A and B are shown apart, each in its own frame.
Chain A
Amino acid sequence: MRSSRRMGVSDEADEGALLRQIGDGDKLAFQALYRAYFPRLARFLGRMTRNVPLLEEIVNDTMLVVWQKAESFDGSCKVSTWIFGIAYRQALKALRGLDEPLESVAEQAGENWNEPEHALAARQLQRGVSRALDALPMEQRVVVSLTYYHGMAYQEIAETMGCPVNTVKTRMFHARQRLKDMLSAHREEMQ
């Protein structure tokens, strides 16, 4: 169940402590936070661009803002919500005007024709889901990603994206309709 992946109170406290150290200019604390967030941010941003150098650059831009503004973090939201909000804005800034098509994940994953049938089916489903997600409008894709793959509450998503909670729910509603349509070929695997 997803709840087990949600961040516990102690993690949140640890991150708050790291952020305070970073506010004092502690580079080791910064590196620790960077390493903890790189995979999460990469997964999140990977739904907005598949361009690896650009993706790493957006992570770096995000963490640079974290470095500069750590002291101003006031604890009014979770550390993760704050950082994801910065990442979302940095990504929009970096992608504005770029209009790069999302390369399908299917072409990037290695093929293995000898794998067992059930593994092959799982991989095909994974590709189908990835392709369907990539076909969603950006805002819907971000809501889906933050909900399903980052375990965020709708309130946190609203804070991250800087929009009302109802907008989050509306985006999710439309995303689900579209995903159901696009994944109708995988109906059996989705049962």
Chain B
Amino acid sequence: MNAENTSSAADHETLQDALPWYANGSLPEAEAARLQEHLRSCAACREDLAWQRKLLETEGPLPAGLDPDRALARLMPRLDAAPVQAAAPQRGPGQWLRALLAPGRWQLAAMAAQLAVIAVLAVQLLPRETPSSYQALGRGQASTPDLLVVFKADARVQDVQRLLQANGARIVGGPTVAGAYMLDVDADRQAALLAALRADPAVDLAENLTPGSQP
């Protein structure tokens, strides 16, 4: 039996539906070959194809006044405020933590130095807060940390202390293996703390962990 010459009406419809992608050259080879064969015997599809090719060549103009340089100049300063994210898209707080916990992301020497700084810091800060609110990673859901921060290897204890106290922040978790700390802060001071952390030379990375804060 000769399949090409006995195309049913259903075949015709299926092939006609694929014509736009035949016209733009994106159809998979086998499907394109079938359509090509069909076109030989189908005047309606040939006419349709000609119409679509004309449409394809007739694109309207862009809106007037677009300026890529101007737009790029506006965007570049925003890049620093939006650091490159590591790992998978659509991360929630948990995934951020896992990313930070992943081995090899941070240099071990820096990590050790951070741990030393922060261990001292934690001892200094914690007695002023309710001890039971301190939460180690993986302990379950006692409270949700608001922010995550990684301090630089050469961060000084007094700088970190000043930074947290000035913004009313408490350490509620960490250090993770990667040296990240979870911070708790009043909701209305969260944005200010994040900005202050990111602007501070003692801070390597600061991220919002509250739901919906990811782009």
Q: Is the CB of B17 within 8 A of A173?
A: yes
B117 to chain A, nearest CB (A): 25
Residues in A with CB closer than 8 Å to B84 are 22-25, 67-68, 70-71
Interface string of A41-76 (1 = CB under 8 A from B): 011001000111001100110011101111110000
Residues in B with CB closer than 8 Å to A191 are 50-51, 54
Q: Is the CB of A2 within 8 A of B56?
A: yes
Contact of A153 among B21, B62, B64 (CB under 8 A): B21
B81 to chain A, nearest CB (A): 10
A169 CA / B23 CA spacing, docked (Å): 14
Q: Is the CB of A172 within 8 A of B20?
A: yes
- Please judge, given known A-B contacts A25-B84, A52-B66, A64-B78, whether A35 and B72 are in contact too, CB under 8 Å: yes
Within 8 A of B (CB), among A58-114: 59-60, 63-65, 67-72, 105, 108-109
The answer to the question of A9 belonging to the interface, with a C-beta cut-off of 8 Å to chain B, is no
B180 to chain A, nearest CB (A): 18
When C-beta atoms are compared, the residue in chain A nearest to B58 turns out to be: A129
Which of the four size classes fits the interface of chain B?
35 or more
- Please judge, given known A-B contacts A64-B79, A71-B84, A153-B26, whether A147 and B21 are in contact too, CB under 8 Å: yes
A166 CA / B17 CA spacing, docked (Å): 10
Residues of B at under 8 Å CB distance from A? 17-18, 20-21, 23-28, 50-52, 54-56, 58-68, 70-72, 74-76, 78-79, 82-89, 215
Q: List 9 A-B contacts (CB under 8 A).
A: A31-B72, A31-B76, A64-B79, A69-B85, A105-B60, A147-B21, A190-B51, A190-B54, A191-B51
